Amino acid sequence: MSANTAHGKLQWSDRYSVGIPEIDEQHKKLFDLINKIHSAIFAHKGTAACVGILDELVDYTRIHFALEQSLMHMGGYPGYERHCALHSDLVAEVEALQSKIHSGSAAISFELLHFLRTWLSKHILGEDKQYGEFFAHHGQSIMHGWAQRSNEVIRNHKKRWWKFWS
């Protein structure tokens, strides 16, 4: 199950849609950030430019995961705990890489880019599609309120997004 790519970049298609417009828009933003890293590497923009984009990607990923988890939590998604564990594992792995990159003991490379592209596409097509199907059948009642709050958090993401559902 490889990522839909053109010249190494992730290309959004309907097959990635989970059926929740707010989540799909967030996933598109993640695609865009990974593609920006790809472009920066190909354009030889240097480590500083790539690190800046990686930092933005990590920050946005944390926000996205918190919002996704809030939906699962509020809607009683049965795979909530396992999905959160997958998110935690990725965040820990990327933070470790980010730390190595910031310290100069690792560089942003095509291997990192491949890892991010593959993880994102497989995660969406495997894990996220499952909660999309769950909410299509069981969660319509919570979607409206969650969608409004999600959009507000994304617009103001420097605010205390981690308190989304408290």
Summarize pLDDT for 19-41 with one digit per residue, the tens. Answer: 999 899 999 999 999 999 999 98
- 114-165 per-position pLDDT tens digit: 889 999 999 999 999 999 999 888 766 666 667 777 777 777 765 444 444 4
Reading phi first (left if > 0) and then psi (alpha if -120 to 50, else beta), residue 123 is in alpha
- The answer to whether position 9 is within a domain reads no
- Joined tokens for residue 92: 């820990």
Q: What is the CATH number of the domain that holds 50?
A: 1.20.120.50
Is 66 part of any domain? yes
Q: Are 101 and 108 in contact (CB under 8 A)?
A: yes
pLDDT band at 16 (very low <50, low <70, confident <90, very high): very high
Whether 1 is in a domain gets the answer no
Q: Could you tell me the residue range of the domain that residue 38 belongs to?
A: 20-158
Q: Is there a domain that residue 37 lies in?
A: yes
Q: What is the pLDDT of residue 129?
A: 96
Rounded CA-CA distance 123/82 in Å is: 13
65 belongs to a structural domain: yes
Q: Which residue has the higher pLDDT, 60 or 110?
A: 60
Better pLDDT: 86 or 98: 86
Is 164 part of any domain?
A: no
Please provide the average confidence, as pLDDT, over all residues in the chain: 84
Spatial neighbors of 106 by CB under 8 A, at least 6 apart, are 97, 100
pLDDT value at residue 23: 93
Q: How many domains does one find in the chain?
A: 1
Question: Is residue 15 in some structural domain?
Answer: no
Please report the pLDDT score of residue 5 as a whole number. 52
Give mean pLDDT, residues 87-112.
Answer: 87
Whether residue 5 lies inside any domain: the answer is no
